[in-house]
Amino acid sequence: MSEVLFDSGEHKVLLFSDMVAGDAGVQCTQFFIYHDHHAAMFDPGGQLTFQPLQMAMNRICPMKELDYVVASHQDPDIISSLDRWLMYSNAQILISRLWERFLPHLVPDYMDHQGESRIIAIPDQGMDIQLGDSIIKALPAHFLHSVGNFSFYDPLSRILFSGDVGASILNGEPADPVEDFAAHLPRMQGFHERYMGSNRACRLWANMVRGLDVEMIVPQHGRPFVGKTIINQFLDWFAELQCGIDLIDQSNYQLP
């Protein structure tokens, strides 16, 4: 099932949030932009999601219109379906330069060197991804949580796809927008404290995002943040968050 987040006719933004059935794996959201016969799929996931996602996408456009499969980082729930996308589409695969050389390990021998020729490295400083006559901005999000990590901003819809930043645990509920930030916090706090690298990265990312006109933040797991008020609450919290190496001491490094 897909949800339309933005539709101006020529430019559509959709998300798919219920492709992983039951408790087969953690709930994941895939993000999709279609602009005048040019498509990009963000964080398509693994083998669990490939087939339902392909079917959902085919209702919007043919596979041959998929220009890019874009990965925020290297994890199994992000890009482990790489071999399928290489086989069934002509899309280029975009990922951090830190992971470009590792991804071909997901590509079987019989696909020759497709992994190398179709995987494009995103430089550390980010880039503009050309999608037809529109652009999508790949924004640095390193150490949040992966060492080579990106968020993606669509200036036409003003939607920020933030990957694991802002991710929350759903417990089977629908991925409705967050309404009460304080009530939502317990679903995010523990995850961010353990998975995010350090406050320094959180604060620098939040500062960068404040320079953009953002209407919606869509994380890869859980509920989105819609509207300036809740987005600012989220950025204020994230910029102050102590996490990762901020919280460790010798007690975390004892011989087991």
Tell me how far, at minimum, the Cβ of 149 lies from Fe ion, in Å.
Answer: 8
Cα gap 156→71, rounded to integer Å? 20
Q: Considering all CA atoms of the chain, what is the largest pairwise distance in Å, rounded to the nearest integer?
A: 59
Number of residues that bind Fe ion (CB under 5 A): 1
Min separation Cβ 145 and Fe ion, Å: 6
Of the pair 75, 100, the CB lying nearest Fe ion is at: 75
Residue 167 vs residues 71, 76, 88: alpha-carbon distances, Å: 16, 16, 30
Nearer residue to Fe ion within complex by CB, 219 or 226: 219
Give the nearer residue to Fe ion in terms of CB position, either 47 or 130. Answer: 47
Cis peptide before 38 (omega within 30 of 0): no
Specify the residue for token string 């003003």. 158
- The rounded distance, in Å, linking the Cα atoms of 205 and 142 is 9
Give the Cα separation of 53 and 9 in Å (integer): 22
Q: Select from 40-48, 60-68, 70-78, 173-181 the region that touches Fe ion (CB under 5 A).
A: 70-78
75 binds Fe ion (CB under 5 A): yes
Minimum CB–partner distance for residue 75 and Fe ion (Å): 3
Our CB check for Fe ion shows the closer of 39 and 138 to be 138
Number of Cβ within a 10 Å radius of residue 244: 21
Region of 16-24, 73-81, 179-187, 244-252 interacting with Fe ion (CB under 5 A): 73-81
Residue closer to Fe ion (CB basis): 67 or 75: 75
Q: How far is the CB of 195 from Fe ion (least distance, A)?
A: 7
List the x/- string, 27-66, binding to Fe ion by CB under 5 A.
----------------------------------------
Burial 160-195 (b: 16+ CB within 10 A, else e): bbbbbbbbbbbeeeebeebeebeebeebbeebbeee
Which among 37-45, 75-83, 128-136, 185-193 is the span making contact with Fe ion, rule CB under 5 A? 75-83
- Contact segment (CB under 5 A) with Fe ion among 21-29, 49-57, 74-82, 177-185 equals 74-82
Q: Do the Cβ atoms of 117 and 105 come closer than 8 Å?
A: no
Query: CB atoms < 10 A from the CB of 61, how many?
Result: 15
**Minimum distance, C-beta of residue 73 to Fe ion, in the bound complex (Å):** 5
Question: Is the CB of residue 243 less than 8 Å from the CB of residue 198?
Answer: yes
Q: Segment contacting Fe ion (CB under 5 A): 67-75, 148-156, 167-175, 237-245? A: 67-75
Query: Residues interacting with Fe ion, by CB under 5 A?
Result: 75
